[in-house]
Structure 1
Amino acid sequence: MAMAAPGRCRVELVRAGLKAWQLGPHAVREWVAPFRSLLGCQRRCVSSVGTATFSNPRLASASRHYGQGSAMDHFVGVSQPENSLTSCAPAVSMYRDEQNLLLVQPPDMPENPRVLRVVLLGAPNAGKSTLSNQLLGRNVFPVSKKVHTTRCQALGVITEKESQVILLDTPGIISPVKQKRHHLELSLLEDPWKSMESADLVLVLVDVSDKWTRNQLSPQVLQCLTQFSQVPSILVLNKVDCLKQKSILLELTAALTEGVVNGKKLNIRQAFRPCPDTHCPRPAAKDLNTQSEKNARKIGWPNFQEIFMLSALSQEDVKTLKQYLLAQAQPGPWEFHSGVLTSQTPEEICTNKIREKLLEYLPQEVPYNVQQKTVVWEEGPSGELIIHQNLLVPKESHMRILIGEKGHLISQIAQEVGRDLMDIFLCDIQIRLSVKLLK
């Protein structure tokens, strides 16, 4: 990773700040005073691909030299204006060194800290990353309509008042057969199980708009819940805004909870549709002779503590869930400084964001065959972040698809990634994507 002189100066600035922080709040206030004017300066936001440029005046009016709400601001204690145009969530540093320094800093805990580790489980494309982004307040996790957008476990941190909630956004849980058949990374198979070992709460997400998968929990999710039955769990029915008939939610609740929530039986007499065959017995009346047959027919989990019905795209819906999670935090030491939003490196965030757009715009298997290689990651002469990434494809036909007519598609992808990264890093972005044939 190449870094210009201003970048090195900034890292040194952070290190000096860390030393001052170790001496106490008074030393931090004295150290940061000369830099307040520097932290408040404005900038124009520009992103480019090739010779094309675009600007975003709305974001420019809210950004500052280090970005409003940046990790630096949270670290040194610079207060935020009440009418801030950006989210109250801290931004992510565009420098790996600064991000690493923040991750290893002792947590700035209040007198009575509380903490909760939450694992998000669900089938691929259930909306786990979308929900995580909404809970965090910034889109730091990749999201697309295609499956397996999240390739490995990613960590996000919500810190409010005395409570800290740590979100473990896992890949969509799959079977070993699918992992081998499609030659997927081993992390897709292993990470959800590893996350459960340290979980305080499990959030099981179900996409109710998918009529093929919504009627039962996947065998892998059920196996995970069964193996870690001591971990409390909640059920979240996602994408309820896509349902025209809300009565379906009652049926799904009955099936996915086996009619029991928080140890209490639900009144679910109307949850089952009449069977067209009058001689067809209800599920409860069937004689299950063996334990193996019972397990084979198991479609729900009777140990959920709560049920939430929401759209992960609705801020109001997600706010209710967020407040619930914060309230579930138990007394215990924080794991991270309040300025930490995610454990991902800035380069990982950028690579994931580009892959998100590739999955969104490229057909069928094409995006899964693209290899990404970052060749430039440095600070420019005006302090902007300059990124150059090569996209390597195995076929010339894939090159033509990715570039698009007159280069419009690759330009559009670069511009959208640039806008997303400005919101995450809160700094100016210049990004260039080059499409090359894999040799």
Structure 2
Amino acid sequence: MALGTCGRFFRSCSVLSARALVCARQESASCLLTAGNGGCSQRGRVGCIFTPACLITSEAFVSRLRRGKAADGSVYRLPASVPADRGEQLSLLMRHPDQPHDPKVLKVAVIGAPNAGKSTLSNQLLGRKVFAVSKKVHTTRARALGVLTEDDTQIILLDTPGLTTPSKAKRHQLEKTLLVDPWDTVKEADLMVVMVDAGDRWMCSRLDLEVLKCLAQHPQIPAILVLNKVDLVKAKDRLLDITAHLTCGVVNGRRLRIRPVIKPPWAEKKPERDLESSPEDNEEQSSSLSKEKLKELRTQQGWPRFKDVFMLSSVDGEDVETLKKYFMAAAKPGAWQYHSEVLTDQSPEEVCTNLIREKLLEYLPQEVPYSLTQTIELWQEGTDGEVDISVKLYTKKETHMKMVIGAAGQMVAQIAREAGEDLSRVFLREVRLKLTAKLRK
């Protein structure tokens, strides 16, 4: 009897120890799940949230990892960034889209006059600074693509150079991409966003003629009006007046009812549109528009076919979030074009030169930054994941080179430091950027 009692005691102890072992394993797996989001991480990037393998079959585990499913069944995506290696970026762009069963997509072309805030808005929507931004005109020199992926929806942002005329491009020796890219980009868009700087008193009273031409050539593409920099407008009731002018008093087929404000006679004078034109101005962009239509557009203040109007500040998170939700709701069922990790179609070298040009435009006066050219001489990845980049700036004049270098090299050092910090946030790793200046003979 005593032996039987001892036997039952040891058997119960073994069962308790086995249960304790199972609990310990599950607890350790839970700790790994909670603290180990980087369990599949690489170079500091968050990997995938997963259910511990001891609780599901290996086949289901692999299948769930491939689909990017989290432990609770929701979709978890890697934080989008730009790989610092050109090959990795190209491989990422060629990856098959990891779309859900019912994907939705929307292509948005952001157009407007130079310096309206198009790139700033695109950066805010993406949540990361990818496109160059400055207070000077023509910062964006070519079309750039950004990808915003959330849940089952992919928004493709097409950031374009400011619309300009061939005569102005020739006068200021601008690249051909500034003339061609905006028009080519609109053709592939599902939605046009027309941005207007509401803080510019001379430009906000009527749409730019080139913008009107673009809208008139593609009336079948839905368009919305975005009044940017509304925080700079002190008299907020003036925004309604601006809206009435830019929409011709009609939004989404309905006439606006805005109570008129009595103004003194001197305030009724409106700035005249720049009617500077030449035969070149109507060669390419206006080929499909008749002379009568062009004449009508020159006297037209706005566009009466806007579907909606947004008033925002590109640097205000809540305003940008409202516009993002609008894009998400407007997305239509369709296949994704990019993997969810893609942030932009630009190569890392293009991102680098664009962000350097941004700093040059920001700190150098007048025409100096427009005359500079860049050459990447070194692009090397270190053992700890850091990236060493060396870029040489070529100037046309000795005086320009002195401006770039600055007193005791402070200017070029500041530009390199700030551009390097922006690149670190884009590549999600440390970037050591070195800039040197040389006179091009």
What is the TM-score of this pair, normalised by structure 2? 0.78
Give the CA deviation at 1:79. 9.0
**1:107 counterpart (69, 81, 97):** 97
Change (3 A) 1:402 1:77: farther
Match of 1:388 in 2: 390
Structure 2 CA distance, aligned partners of 1:268 and 1:339?
45
Tell me which structure has the larger Cα radius of gyration.
2
Q: Deviations over 1:259-291 (max 9, x none)?
A: 000110000232x653618999xxxxxxxxx87
Gaps of 5+ in 1: 1-32, 42-63, 81-86, 281-289
Residues of 1 paired with 2:175 and 2:191: CA distance? 26
5 Å-filtered alignment, 1:116-131, equals 116-131=106-121
Of 361, 374, 380, 1:372 maps to 374
The residue identity in structure 2 corresponding to 1:199 is A
Distance 1:79 1:333, change over 3 A: closer
Contact 1:94 1:425 in 2 (8 A): yes
Residue in structure 2 matching 1:276, options 245, 265, 270: 265
- Whole-angstrom CA distance in 1 between matches of 2:311 and 2:392: 41
Find out whether 1:132 has 2:109 as its counterpart: no
1:176 CA displacement: 1.4
State TM-score, norm by structure 1. Answer: 0.78
| 2:265 partner letter | P
Question: Which has the larger displacement, 330-339 or 292-301?
Answer: 292-301
> Partner amino acid for 1:388?
S
Higher relative contact order (CA 8 A, sep 6+): 1
Alignment of 1:34-45 (within 5 A): none
| Residues 183, 214 of structure 2: 8 Å contact kept | yes
| 1:256 aligned residue (221, 246, 258) | 246
2:329 matched to 1:340? Answer: no
Q: Say whether the 8 Å CA contact 1:69–1:90 is kept in structure 2.
A: no
Residues 70 and 93, structure 1, Cα contact 8 Å, conserved in 2: no
Residue-by-residue CA offset, 1:185-241 (whole Å, 9 max, x unaligned): 010001011011111000000001111111111111000001000000000000001
- The CA distance in 2 between the partners of 1:142 and 1:373, in whole Å, is 18
3-state SS, counterpart of residue 304 of structure 1: coil
Quick one: which amino acid aligns to residue 412 of structure 1?
Q
User: What residue in structure 1 maps to residue 202 of structure 2?
Assistant: 212
Read off the aligned partner of 2:176 and give its amino acid letter.
L
Query: After the TM superposition, which of the residue ranges 354-363 and 190-199 deviates more from structure 2?
Result: 190-199
SS at match of 2:110: strand
- Preserved contact between residue 37 and residue 47 of structure 2 (Cα < 8 Å): no
Shift in Å, 1:294 = 3.8
**Structure 1 moving runs of 4+ over 2 Å:** 36-41, 64-71, 75-80, 272-275, 277-280, 290-296
Task: Give the Cα–Cα distance (whole angstroms) in 2 for the partners of residues 207 and 69 of structure 1.
Answer: 38
Q: What number of residue pairs does the alignment pair up?
A: 366
Tell me if structure 1 keeps the 8 A contact 2:247–2:306: yes
- The structure-2 alpha-carbon separation of the partners of 1:205 and 1:279, relative to structure 1 and needing over 3 Å to count, comes to closer
- Equivalences for residues 63-82 of structure 1 within 5 A: 66-68=43-45
Say if 1:39 and 1:66, in contact at 8 Å, map to a contact too: no
2:154 corresponds to which residue? 164
**Contact conserved, 2:43 with 2:385, CA < 8 A, in 1?**
no
Identity %: 51
Alpha-carbon RMSD across the aligned residues, in angstroms, is: 2.8
The answer for the alignment partner of 2:82 in structure 1 is 92
Distance 1:258 1:384, change over 3 A: same
Q: 2:175 is paired with a residue of what secondary structure?
A: coil
